[in-house]
């Protein structure tokens, strides 16, 4: 299935192997009394950073860092306070130096937003992109979105 086709379909939370719960905060609201569009970037960041920085998963390596290079968001429904949200993340593509993830925000079993995020691995000393190490590629495999086969990037 193509990326465009996936974005045209309503995502299923079960397709995203990494999930966590968060709260909608009163401060997330705009004057229209729904969650402000800019806040969704923070929700998506919470999902990515919580996964990537957890040492149990082996996705952060000494001397290397992840930087965000692209975030495409699709707003699907209003989200209001109070409430809880479920965040989902699945890896859909590996590049030579990058990882592409699809992410979702669900509220009351309804997808309210989705995004595609591209992160690049850099060398902290040079601040330049660096190839994904083989061990890191293996550590990313369990986080593959259901229905997407992660293959080794072409050198």
pTM for this model (two decimals): 0.91
Place of tokens 């968001």: 73
The pLDDT tens digits of the residues spanning 30-66 come to 999 999 999 999 999 999 999 999 999 999 999 999 9
How many helices and strands (H and E) does the chain possess? 3, 5
**Residues whose CB falls within 8 Å of the CB of residue 84, separated by 6 or more in sequence, listed in order:** 21, 22, 23, 24, 107
The pLDDT tens digits of the residues spanning 55-100 come to 999 999 999 999 999 999 999 999 999 999 999 999 999 999 999 9
**Residues whose CB falls within 8 Å of the CB of residue 73, separated by 6 or more in sequence, listed in order:** 37, 40, 41, 44, 113, 114, 115
The pLDDT tens digits of the residues spanning 48-58 come to 999 999 999 99
C-beta of residue 105 within 8 angstroms of C-beta of residue 46: no
C-beta of residue 90 within 8 angstroms of C-beta of residue 33: no
pLDDT-based confidence at residue 150 (cuts at 50, 70, 90): confident
Average pLDDT, the chain: 92
């Amino acid at each position: 299935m193509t990326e465009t086709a996936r974005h045209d379909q309503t995502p299923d939370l079960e397709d995203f192997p990494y999930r966590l719960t968060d709260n909608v905060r009163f401060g997330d609201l705009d004057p229209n009394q729904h969650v402000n569009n800019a806040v969704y970037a923070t929700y998506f960041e919470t999902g990515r950073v919580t996964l990537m920085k957890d040492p149990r998963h082996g996705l952060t390596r000494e001397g290397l860092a992840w930087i965000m290079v692209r975030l495409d968001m699709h707003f699907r429904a209003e989200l209001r306070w109070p409430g809880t949200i479920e965040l989902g993340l699945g890896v859909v593509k590996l590049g030579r130096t990058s990882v592409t993830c699809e992410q979702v925000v669900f509220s009351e079993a309804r997808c309210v937003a989705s995004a595609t995020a591209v992160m690049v691995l850099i060398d902290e000393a040079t601040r330049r992109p660096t190839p994904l190490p083989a061990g890191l590629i293996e550590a990313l495999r369990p986080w593959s979105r259901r229905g997407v086969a992660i293959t080794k990037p072409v050198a």
